Amino acid sequence: MSTPSHEHRAPATSTHRINYGSGLELYERLGQVGEGTYGKVYKARNRETGQLVALKRIRMETERDGFPITAMREMKLLQSMCHDNVVKLYEVMILKGSVYLVFEYMDYDLAGVQAHPMIQWRDVHVKCLLRQLLSGLDYLHQKGILHRDIKGSNLLLSRKGELKLTDFGLARWYRPDQPIDYTNRVVTLWYRPPELLLGETKYGPEIDLWGAGCILLELLTGKPPFQGHDEISQLEQIYQVMGAPNPQTWPQVVDLPWYHLIRPKEAYPSIFHERYASILSPGTFALAEQLLSMNPAHRPTAQQALAHAYFTEAPLPCSPDELPKMEGDWHEFESKQRQKKRQLSSAASATTTQSGQEGSTVQKRPLDTTMTLLKEEPEAKRMALSSATSPS
C-alpha cells in the first residue's frame, strides 16, 4: 500500500486512455529513437493534434506467464508518478496485439548529447542538469521507488532544457523500514556502485546517488569516470581512483558477499583528489566526492545533495531554457547509428575489409585504462559501450 495522502491528489488527466486498432492511423511513425532491453522505441506524431510522442513497444514473448510482470510494474510505477523530472506516460495503446506505452517526446538524452561534437557543458549548465536529476531522484525516493538504472541514455532532455528520468523497467518499490533482498545485478556496469559489485542485496536509494555522481563527472569531463568491461575490472577502475575500500571508513564492507573473493590486488590509495581537484571547482569537487563515497551510508540523500552549497554558490545554475540548444534529435541510439555509419564507411575505404564484422565492431569501444582526462577527442568524445549497457 502506498502513502496515505489523498490530500495530494492530482487532477485526473483525460489523456490517460486506451487506444485500440485506431493507433495505426492516430500515430504516424517517424523513426526509431531507442532500443531497450524491452524492445524498440519510436518517435511518432499524433495525426490529430500534431503532438510528438515516443512509442515504446512491450515485448510479449514470455506469454507462458501471461502479461510480463516487468511491464506491469513499469506501467504501475509510471501511473503513480507525476513530476517535472519524470517522463510522462500519456496512454497505453494496443496495436495488432502488441502493447505500446505512449510517452511525451523528448528530443535528446544525455548520452546522445554527450556525443554531439559541438556541445560542451559549462558549470552553470551542469548545475542545472544535476539539480533536475536530483529533484527527480528525490521525488522517486520520497515515494519509495528505486530507479536502479541511472545512466546518460535514461536521462532525457527536451528542447526546453527539461531533464526527465525515463526507463523504469528495472525500478522497484522499496520501504526503508522493511529492507528486502533485491538482485545486485542491476544498474548498467559503468554506473554501478561498489557495494553492488561486491554482492550487496539489501540496498536503498544510495545506489542511485552513486549514478548521479558518475553523471556529474561525465558531464564535466566528457566521459564516464569508471569504465570497466566486466564486474571485476569495473571494481578495479573504481579502486584505482577512489582507493580500495577501507574497513575503517566502511566497516560493513567486510561482510559483503564477494569482498573476500575479490580482494584488491594491491593497496590502492585514492587519487580522486589529485585527479579532479584541479579541474573541478571546489564546490563541484566536494559534491562529487560525497556522491561517490565508497561507503553507501556516507552518500548524501538526493534531498541533502540538493541542499549542497554547490547549488547556491557562484556560478549559480542556469535556468533550463538557457541550456545550449541543438538541431535534430540526439539520443544514444542515433549517436550509435552515426558511429556505425562512420565505422562502416571507414571499413569500406580500408584495403582489407573484414566482412561480417560490422555488427560486433560497432559495439566495442577501446577501453583506455590510462584515463586521459579532458584530452580532446572530437571524433568520439563519448560513445556508449553498448556491450555493457544491458544489465542482466
Partner 1 sequence: MQQSVRQTTLAALPNAVVSREQFARTPSSRDGIPASLQDRLRMFGCELIQSAGVLLSAPQVTMATAQVLFQRFYFVESFRDMDLLDMVAGALFVAAKVEETPKRITDIVNVVHFLRQHRRHLDTAPLDGFTQDYYNLRNGLLTAEWRLLVALGFDVHVQLPYSLMVNYLQAMGLSGKKSLVQRAWNYLNDALRTPIYVLHQPHTIACAVIQLAARHEQLPMPEDPPWWQVFEADATEMQAVNGWLGRLYADPLTDDEARTLPLNREELARYLKQSSSRH
Active site (catalytic) residues: 149
Give 9 or 265: the residue with its C-beta nearer to partner 1.
Answer: 9
Give 4 or 117: the residue with its C-beta nearer to partner 1.
Answer: 4
Q: How far is the CB of 83 from partner 1 (least distance, A)?
A: 9
DSSP string, 98-117: EEEEEEE--SEEHHHHHT-T
Q: How far is the CB of 139 from partner 1 (least distance, A)?
A: 11
Give 53 or 244: the residue with its C-beta nearer to partner 1.
Answer: 53
76 is in an annotated binding site: no
Q: Select from 198, 85, 76 the least CA-distant residue to 137.
A: 85
Beta pairing partners, 144: none
Q: How far is the CB of 106 from partner 1 (least distance, A)?
A: 18
CB proximity list for 389: less than 8 A, separation 6 or greater: 151, 153, 188, 189
Contact assessment for residue 139 and residue 83, using Cβ atoms and an 8 Å cutoff: yes
Distances (CA, A) of 156 to 111, 122, 132, 354: 9, 19, 11, 36
Give 14 or 352: the residue with its C-beta nearer to partner 1.
Answer: 14
Binding interface with partner 1 (CB under 8 A) = 1-10, 12-14, 16-18, 63, 65-67, 69, 72-73, 75-76, 79-82, 91-92, 94, 99, 173
Q: How far is the CB of 204 from partner 1 (least distance, A)?
A: 17
Pairing, β 163-165 against β 40-46: unpaired
Cα separation, 330 vs 90, in Å, equals 22
Phi/psi at 290 (5° precision): -65, -45
Contact assessment for residue 10 and residue 82, using Cβ atoms and an 8 Å cutoff: yes
Beta pairing partners, 347: none
Q: How far is the CB of 15 from partner 1 (least distance, A)?
A: 9
Give 75 or 124: the residue with its C-beta nearer to partner 1.
Answer: 75
Q: Select from 73, 62, 121 the least CA-distant residue to 101.
A: 73
Binding-site annotation: residue ranges for ATP = 56
Binding-site annotation: residue ranges = 56
